[in-house]
Structure 1
Amino acid sequence: MPKARSPDRDKAFEIYKEHDGNIDLVYIAEILNLSAGTIRGWKNKDKWEQQLNGTLQIENTERSKRSGAPKGNKNAIGNNGGAPPENKNSEKHGFFSKWLPAETAEIMKSIEKMDPLDILWDNIQLQYTAIIRAQKLMYVKDQDDITTTKIGEGYSDTGSSEKWEVQQAWDKHATFLNAQSRAMKTLEGMMKQYDELLHKNWELATEEQKQRIENLKANTAKIKGDDPDNNSSEDDGFMEALTGKVDDVWQE
């Protein structure tokens, strides 16, 4: 019984055809998670180049037969027809919709018209949220706050044994400080990038885009302890929450 033809064989040619043959076979192999040798073999056996040239010739012939408007028809004066030469949207969407999961392709489509500044802001918010959440997850109450975790057990003829991991308060706190330091550097880098992009397009930016970075800078200064108004009587409880003074916020 002959071996069934792999559906990836046709997919590989479709990718090759969509790029008019101007694509490395190794790249096709990576897309389909196959070896480059397999793709190369399919190309030779199925005569991809001949198929592509034949397809182009047929398409050009059909196009030449259909070219031209009826005599006397002036509807198309000044209109060359079709999308602008640089318009690759349909080609791009066709490629992504064919090879990406539907949900992923839909997400890409939904963010296509988003302002780059707003996309960057969304990422800043995610990073800032992760930092705030870490204040609760990695909170160390005092020097006696020790965490003991069972990490394994074993059995033998003589009995059983257990393996435990003990995390001292100082060790947990040091881990938290290192993690927060790295996270804050990442956040500050993103904020700097936002600031630069904002001022580069200042005249086109909305008031919301201008104001929100100032608000975030103020809150970030509170986390770092750099806020000159930190001792103000108008403190909104932000710092208390971060230092664990508001027990009902952090208690499980």
Structure 2
Amino acid sequence: MSNPLLKVRQLTVNVEDKEILHQVDLDIATGETHVLMGPNGAGKSTLGYALMGNPRYDVTGGSVLFDGADLLDLSADQRAKSGLFLSFQNPLEVPGITLGNFIRNAVEQRTGERVRLWNFRKQLEKECEILDMDPSYVDRDLNVGFSGGEKKKAEILQLLMLKPKLAILDETDSGLDVDAVRTVSKGVEEYQKQEDGALLIITHNTGILSSLKVDHTHVLVNGQVVGGGDASLVDEINRDGYEKYEAKAAK
């Protein structure tokens, strides 16, 4: 990859003066799906939040280029407008703003153009159908009273409507039952059909990966990338766990 969409070099990140990520390198090309796996506490979510610009995560070293621009020079909202998307482990409830209005405003901010309401609603209904989601949810306040599965579906709905250049999915399958995982996976598959979109799926549970095409797998332990491979690495970790990678990180 001479010009990857995302180019991370020697990224070091602190949280409250504690170093969580240690000189992480990562390249993601347009159209690719990457998986970042590791045990709990490895620093996987830290990478997602640091890339998105959460102020709690202090980048103390390294560089990040996104679509040729210095990502670390951009604010969180500028990163979103440039085509970076992050789904959260625990999406927040936002009373007073409907899911539909939230998405419509986000699309307008992302594209810099006004969205025609009729066209927007038709597209929203189409994506809701893919997610087996009752269209009435778009008229409810964002995540208020939603179950865990409904919150995750609402995030994938945002993903399908926003069409980002790179989507970072942080434990999207966490806490979901089998049927909900299948539905969320279906939405992610739909996003994968966009040839100009890329995915970084952060997980320690591989349920969401069973039906997805995975190009590259990375193993993060104690804040370090200590292994990598293709989709077969997911099966290896399911079978053998992280023991050999934890030994690498300890050296």
> How high is the TM-score relative to the length of structure 1?
0.22
Name the larger-Rg structure.
1
Counting strand residues as a fraction of each chain, which structure ranks higher?
Answer: 2
Counting helix residues as a fraction of each chain, which structure ranks higher?
Answer: 1
> How high is the TM-score relative to the length of structure 2?
0.22
